[in-house]
């Protein structure tokens, strides 16, 4: 089975922009995440795809109508934190506070989240303990590849049971000899829909599951980005700027995959993952 997931955060939360927490506001977002997520929901409806939306608590507060729309369309809603703070910048207490706060916001909207993905695939030794204490049964924070942001090379991408009975479903990376080729997100923009289709199918065949992830800010370009960058005093080298915006908007590649793959949510794959774990 191939799992479809969206990390629902605004462009203001992107680590590359380094926007101070005090300025990560609904006003600065300018309904960007609202418009982008609505486009995603329409696409999923068109292709009858079911997904898991890992939602930031802040975005749920800004746009509760998005949570309603996800529920109405039968998607699963998981959590991605309250702010987009990396786990390495949290204490056990501040992380626990964010998880509790986000669960409470979603509970008030009639959602009982059971899955979690950490901002920027970050990790901390208290991760699984806090998740378990808050009733989260499944995590998807492991990205088994080394990048400047994270080092997940100790892991494979087959689902496994980790501390406290939590099921870890890592994001998808295909190992070809010593090379690791990731699917989804930036790598969907870089490598395109056709190569990602091949990667996901090969990973599914090898591990029983594969995971596609992407973000709403990959669907729509930021309006007036020169103005935004000047206002926020964001300084980027030409190379960094190229990578930051490369392939955005990536609607064509996403539609290609939606047309080729019968995607499901984490919840929809639960029985299949449990069977994989018993083998």
- Interface with Zn ion by CB under 5 A: which residues? 7, 9, 119
Smallest distance, Zn ion to C-beta of residue 119, A: 5
Q: How far apart are CA 191 and CA 211, in angstroms?
A: 16
Minimum gap (Å) between residue 205 Cβ and Zn ion: 28
The residue among 44 and 213 lying less far from Zn ion, judged by its C-beta, is 213
Q: Can you tell me the distance from the alpha carbon of 53 to that of 275, in angstroms, rounded to the nearest whole number?
A: 23
Inter-CA distances, 40 with 90, 141, 249, Å:
31, 22, 12
Instruction: Tell me the closest approach of the beta carbon of residue 165 to Zn ion, in angstroms.
Output: 25
Q: Are the CB atoms for 32 and 63 separated by under 8 Å?
A: no
Going by C-beta distance under 8 Å and a sequence separation of 6 or more, which residues neighbour residue 205? Answer: none
Using the minimum distance from each CB to Zn ion, give the nearer residue, 1 or 136: 136
- Our CB check for Zn ion shows the closer of 171 and 173 to be 171
Distance of closest approach, residue 154 Cβ to Zn ion, in angstroms? 21
- DSSP annotation of 222 reads P
Other C-beta atoms lying within 10 Å of the C-beta of residue 108: 11
* 59, 10 Cβ separation under 8 angstroms: yes
Residue 128 or 213: which CB sits closer to Zn ion?
213
Is the CB of 9 or the CB of 139 nearer to Zn ion? Answer: 9
Q: Least Å distance between CB 84 and Zn ion?
A: 6
Q: How do beta strands 138-139 and 160-161 pair? A: unpaired
Instruction: Determine the straight-line distance between the first and last CA of the chain, rounded to whole angstroms.
Output: 16
**Smallest gap, in angstroms, from Cβ of residue 46 to Zn ion?**
25
Nearer to Zn ion, 1 or 183 (CB): 183
Residue (of 159, 81, 67, 63) closest to 120 by Cα position: 81
CA dihedral defined by 223, 256, 174, 158, rounded to 10 degrees? 100
Structural contact between residues 126 and 139, judged by C-beta atoms closer than 8 angstroms:
no
3-class SS of residue 4: strand
CB-based closest residue to Zn ion: 7
Question: How deeply is 208 buried, as exposed, middle or buried, from its count of CB atoms within 10 A (0-12, 13-18, 19+)?
Answer: middle
- The nearer residue to Zn ion, 34 or 198, going by C-beta atoms, is 34
**Least Å from the CB of residue 238 to Zn ion:** 25
Q: CB 80 → Zn ion: shortest distance, Å?
A: 6
Closest to Zn ion by CB, 53 or 276: 53
Could you check whether the bond before residue 249 is cis, i.e. omega within 30 degrees of 0? yes
């Amino acid at each position: 089975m191939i799992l479809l997931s969206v990390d629902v955060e605004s462009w203001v939360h992107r680590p590359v922009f380094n926007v101070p927490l005090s300025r990560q506001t609904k006003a600065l977002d300018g309904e960007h995440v609202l418009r982008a997520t609505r486009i995603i929901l329409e696409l999923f409806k068109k292709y009858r795809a079911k997904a898991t939306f890992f939602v930031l608590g802040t975005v749920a507060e800004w746009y509760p109508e998005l949570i309603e729309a996800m529920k109405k369309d039968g998607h699963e809603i998981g959590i991605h934190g309250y702010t987009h703070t990396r786990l390495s910048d949290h204490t056990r207490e501040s992380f626990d506070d964010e998880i509790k706060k986000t669960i409470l916001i979603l509970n008030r909207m009639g959602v009982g989240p059971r899955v979690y993905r950490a901002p920027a695939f970050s990790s901390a030794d208290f991760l699984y303990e806090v998740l378990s204490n808050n009733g989260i049964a499944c995590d998807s924070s492991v990205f088994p590849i080394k990048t400047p942001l994270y080092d997940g090379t100790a892991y494979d991408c087959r689902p496994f049971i980790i501390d406290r009975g939590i099921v870890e479903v890592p994001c998808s990376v295909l190992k070809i000899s010593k090379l690791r080729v990731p699917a989804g997100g930036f790598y969907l923009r870089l490598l395109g829909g056709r190569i990602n289709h091949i990667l996901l199918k090969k990973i599914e065949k090898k591990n029983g599951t594969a995971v596609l992830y992407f973000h709403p800010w990959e669907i729509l370009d930021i309006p007036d980005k020169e103005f935004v960058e000047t206002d926020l005093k964001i300084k980027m080298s030409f190379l960094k700027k190229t990578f930051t915006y490369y392939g955005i908007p990536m609607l064509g590649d996403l539609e290609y995959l939606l047309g080729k793959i019968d995607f499901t949510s984490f919840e929809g794959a639960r029985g299949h993952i449990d069977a994989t774990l018993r083998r």
